[in-house]
Structure 1
Amino acid sequence: MLKLKLIATSTFGLEAVVKREIQDLGYEDIEVENGKITYTGDERAIAKSNLWLRSADRVLLKMGEFKARSFEELFEKTKSLPWDEFIPEDGEFTVTGKSVKSQLHSVPDCQAIVKKAVVEKMKSRYNRDWFEETGPKFTIQVALLKDTATLTIDTSGVGLHKRGYREEAVEAPLKETLAAAMVNLSFWDKNRIFLDPFCGSGTIPIEAAMIGRNIAPGLNRSFASEQWSIIGKDIWKEERVNALKAIDQDVELKIYAQDMDPDAIEIAKENAYKAGVDDCIRFQLKRMENINTKDEYGVIICNPPYGERLGRKKQVEKLYKTMGKKFEKLSTWSKYIITSNENFEKLYGKKASKKRKLYNGRIKVDYYQYYGPKPPKK
């Protein structure tokens, strides 16, 4: 087995959540920086990480990191890396890039230099001047930050938020990775009642159901590195079989998803069916104001409208005031609400137990956490 450096990238604010997920998979030697978590693993770790990480954006194979203040330095140090150990003779590879506060600020030039350096490395290995690039795909990224170049190969392909179940979505949907993180940041567990009164296309309750049933989020999709010979199809097959065996089919979940839009409810039902959790979620066509339950110690996790569009701000402010009054009656429940509205606490009528800064796409949001009392021990 190889000893590899892997990087799980994440949305700003979710680094601690992704770190915990990596630790739960059994990997150590973890370093956390803004937007990325570096850890050590082997070939199997690539398959396992892609299948199981719920809140990460993608998994990268770290090839090297070095200072690069000139194109010559970037070329020579890139060429010295073991590209030929990972990319086969017929491998198709492209180079993407970004540069922040670095002397080498021309991204297209950096991409061209890296591409040339990798080709030269391949030439020396395979003794040929031309490569057809008809085989497995490899996406190399050169990321420059303050004159430090980090070179990686993307093992995921399409971002990890693409689970494969959400072909349809309502306007401004929440990313699946963020929804999973919201559930993991809450006090909900499979023994407690869950409610999303603004379910939209069902992302939050579906992610909760997948967590409750222990379904690997990447089980129903493919990854770029599945075609890599260095990992091998046997490892991928074994890890998929292990993931299938890990599903808890016997757990009884009490998950409720509500929305006032009948189209949204139909889309959510279809998405839940594709995710294999339609039997775990009870969908209801209902307005938030009409929540009516005698259950106690439940958990509400929701993504209400933000009022970003003109003309909707007053409606949303009124909605938040109504939420505050309605949710207050659920005195034993814990409530978790994400919104970009900076006056949320004032409108809701109560200061949050904890507030966490996150990003929903490019929108800066806060995750307001209102802790209820602990359920009595059974």
Structure 2
Amino acid sequence: MSDHVTLIATATMGLEALVAREVKELGYENVTVENGRVEFEAPVEAVARTNMWLRTADRVKIKVAEFKAYSFEELFERTKATAWEDYLPEDAEFPVIGRSVKSTLYSVPDCQSIVKKAVVERLKQTYHKEWFAESGGVYKIEIALHKDTAVLTIDTSGAGLHKRGYRAVQNTAPLKETLAASLVMLTNWQPDRPFADPFCGSGTIPIEAALIGQKIAPGFNRDFAAESWEWLDPGIWERARQEAEDKAEYDQPLEIQGSDIDHRIVELARENAMEAGLYGVVSFKQMQASDFTAKKPYGCLVSNPPYGERLGEKESIDTLYQEIGQAFRSLETWSIYILTSNEKFESLYGKKATKKRKLYNGKIKTDYYQYWGQRPPKN
């Protein structure tokens, strides 16, 4: 096993560039950006550091092999020729998942069972055993076929990286933490300025903003699949947690406010903030968005309002967008960022966005409308 690995950080469509930026900020070079993924070479300790620090990636996988496969036989032989013993100990539990896009081998269940058989055959040769109990750590293998290129990976994250560990209960349509962090990172917000979300729901956007503002690692509160792997030095996790502790700026004062019309949701947001260790850092209150006013100039407002996707909601959503358009008109020095799937947003809101960016909220195609406020005068 070499002291370097090839890692793939998976990303939601439209967020690849952000993930790549984060990977580079961690000091890793040779970064390749493709649809839905960012690939890079890194020392083994990057397994812990990327899981700990990447705010916008979905998960981190180790790339084990890549080859062309036009037949099941080819898939079997090339998989079997891979040094699985470098990664999988004798007692490894290794489920195989798969996907196939525009490839000759389109049957995913067949590809999965062939990869499983090939790995077993390889391990039989290495460990001189006929049967494996699979009672140890979990090494989830994925076979991903795209245009007849097979990529074999092992997932290091376990639960998706959006599971930060602070959101115990969710409201019906929660915004993923990774997307919430992305929305904040796509703004010009600085921690010394006020930040608001007038449709805060269970508080995800304000909480992610606070974690960014205080430089708190998003993975600080949780465990990862690769922590139980025998071939990884446990010290890499200890060092990653120590680095997270050293870099956190818990004393950075922040002015972050979330509000929502539903008092039960506001209570839930408070509980989530407390769970994230941000008690007193973020404030929440019950309020309708159209009542929002700014006490200070030069702030940042980021929100994910209702889209009106359900039947019968259209009229009330149209009215809501018109109302916030009027209410936010006075915020000329604030930058305002709104995520919605509603294609008529600009005309209802009453103003054309400075910039629009296509993003996916789950499976929903949305636009991120960006209204840049006036710049503060130079001191």
TM-score by length of 1: 0.99
For 1:130-170, what per-residue CA distance to the aligned partner results, in whole angstroms no more than 9, with x for missing partners?
Answer: 11111111100000111110110000011000000001122
Q: Which amino acid aligns with 2:50?
A: S
Displacement of 1:303 in angstroms is 0.5
* Structural mapping, 1:114-129, within 5 Å: 114-129=115-130
Q: Which amino acid aligns with 1:277?
A: L
* Structural mapping, 1:226-237, within 5 Å: 226-237=227-238
| Aligned mates of 2:340, 2:314 — CA distance in 1 | 13
| Aligned mates of 2:377, 2:86 — CA distance in 1 | 56
Look up the SS of the partner of 2:207 in the other structure. helix
1:59 alignment counterpart: 60
For 1:241-278, what per-residue CA distance to the aligned partner results, in whole angstroms no more than 9, with x for missing partners?
Answer: 11112110210001011111100110000000000112
Look up the SS of the partner of 1:88 in the other structure. coil
2:371 alignment counterpart: 370
Displacement of 1:377 in angstroms is 3.4
Look up the SS of the partner of 1:78 in the other structure. helix
| Aligned mates of 2:84, 2:377 — CA distance in 1 | 56
Look up the SS of the partner of 1:151 in the other structure. strand
| Aligned mates of 2:373, 2:43 — CA distance in 1 | 42
Look up the SS of the partner of 2:94 in the other structure. strand
Q: Which amino acid aligns with 1:43?
A: V
| Aligned mates of 2:112, 2:156 — CA distance in 1 | 19
Structure 1, unpaired ranges of 5+: none
Look up the SS of the partner of 1:338 in the other structure. strand
Asked whether the 8 Å contact 1:156–1:223 carries over to 2, the reply is yes
1:361 alignment counterpart: 362
2:78 alignment counterpart: 77
1:91 alignment counterpart: 92
Asked whether the 8 Å contact 1:6–1:62 carries over to 2, the reply is yes
Asked whether the 8 Å contact 1:193–1:253 carries over to 2, the reply is yes
Displacement of 1:376 in angstroms is 2.6
1:186 alignment counterpart: 187
| Aligned mates of 1:196, 1:164 — CA distance in 2 | 21
Displacement of 1:294 in angstroms is 3.2
Q: Which amino acid aligns with 1:226?
A: E
Work out the percentage of aligned pairs sharing the same amino acid: 56
Displacement of 1:232 in angstroms is 2.0
| Aligned mates of 2:114, 2:283 — CA distance in 1 | 55
Displacement of 1:293 in angstroms is 2.5
* Structural mapping, 1:289-328, within 5 Å: 289-328=290-329
| Aligned mates of 2:80, 2:262 — CA distance in 1 | 56
1:256 alignment counterpart: 257
Look up the SS of the partner of 1:69 in the other structure. coil
Aligned length: 378
* Structural mapping, 1:1-378, within 5 Å: 2-378=3-379
TM-score by length of 2: 0.98
Q: Which amino acid aligns with 1:267?
A: L
* Consecutive aligned runs of 4 or more in structure 1 exceeding 6 Å deviation: none
Look up the SS of the partner of 1:13 in the other structure. coil
Look up the SS of the partner of 2:257 in the other structure. strand
Structure 2, unpaired ranges of 5+: none
| Aligned mates of 1:250, 1:13 — CA distance in 2 | 33
Comparing 146-155 with 277-286, greater Cα deviation is found at 277-286
Displacement of 1:216 in angstroms is 0.5
Asked whether the 8 Å contact 1:57–1:159 carries over to 2, the reply is yes
Asked whether the 8 Å contact 1:357–1:367 carries over to 2, the reply is yes
Look up the SS of the partner of 1:17 in the other structure. helix
Look up the SS of the partner of 1:92 in the other structure. coil
Asked whether the 8 Å contact 1:12–1:358 carries over to 2, the reply is yes
Asked whether the 8 Å contact 1:43–1:230 carries over to 2, the reply is no
For 1:178-219, what per-residue CA distance to the aligned partner results, in whole angstroms no more than 9, with x for missing partners?
Answer: 000000000111111101001010000000000001111011
Displacement of 1:235 in angstroms is 1.2
Asked whether the 8 Å contact 1:195–1:300 carries over to 2, the reply is yes
Asked whether the 8 Å contact 1:253–1:280 carries over to 2, the reply is yes
Provide the aligned C-alpha RMSD in A.
0.9
Look up the SS of the partner of 2:293 in the other structure. coil
